[in-house]
Amino acid sequence: MQDKTYDMLSRAARSAVENAYSVYSRFSVGAAVLMDNGEIIRGSNQENVASPSGLCAERVALFYACSAYPGVRVRAIAIAARDASGRWVPDLTPCGACRQVMAEIIHRYHSDFDVILPGPRDELTIIPASTLLPAPFSV
């Protein structure tokens, strides 16, 4: 069940790449968040000429998911990217800001979730979000 669900989530992340606004970096990223209620929320990076005013795909998707479904925990997020030449970038891990947001979501819902990274031959690397940032900010 998890393999098929995660394959489908990875495909959703790849489809979200098409909605990226990446006219400056030409590096398009898509993310798809699977919620505990079965909803899938997509996001893509949104750049702005006044860098760093843009936002990564992971945060676009996670912030929307937690806003639309505030009482529903995140089960997984898949991340996919395509470079300026149109090639898929395998095993792209989130930036530090996205990792901190993931740590906050774990804290908020008291539940870890999987980060799914499509590999070069569509195999999936699955990493617990809690392992991406070993010393997150906290109060």
Alpha carbons within 13 A on the beta-carbon side of 83:
7
2 pLDDT band (50/70/90 cuts)? Answer: low
User: According to the per-residue pLDDT averaged within each range, which of 27-31, 48-52, 133-137 is highest?
Assistant: 27-31
Q: Helix 57-68 crosses helix 96-109 at what angle (to 10 degrees)?
A: 20
Give the model's pLDDT for residue 102.
Answer: 98
Residue 10 predicted with pLDDT over 50: yes
Global pTM reads: 0.95
Which one, of 111, 112, 109, lies nearest residue 132 by Cα? 112
Which one, of 20, 36, 40, 11, lies nearest residue 86 by Cα? 20
Q: How far is residue 13's CA from residue 16's CA, in Å, rounded to a whole number?
A: 5
| Helix locations, the chain, DSSP H | 2-16, 57-68, 96-109
> What are the residue boundaries of the structural domains of the chain, listed by start?
2-131
DSSP state of 63: H
pLDDT tens per residue, range 60-104? 999 999 999 999 999 999 999 999 999 999 999 999 999 999 999
Q: What is the CATH number of domain 2-131?
A: 3.40.140.10
Q: Catalytic residue numbers?
A: 58
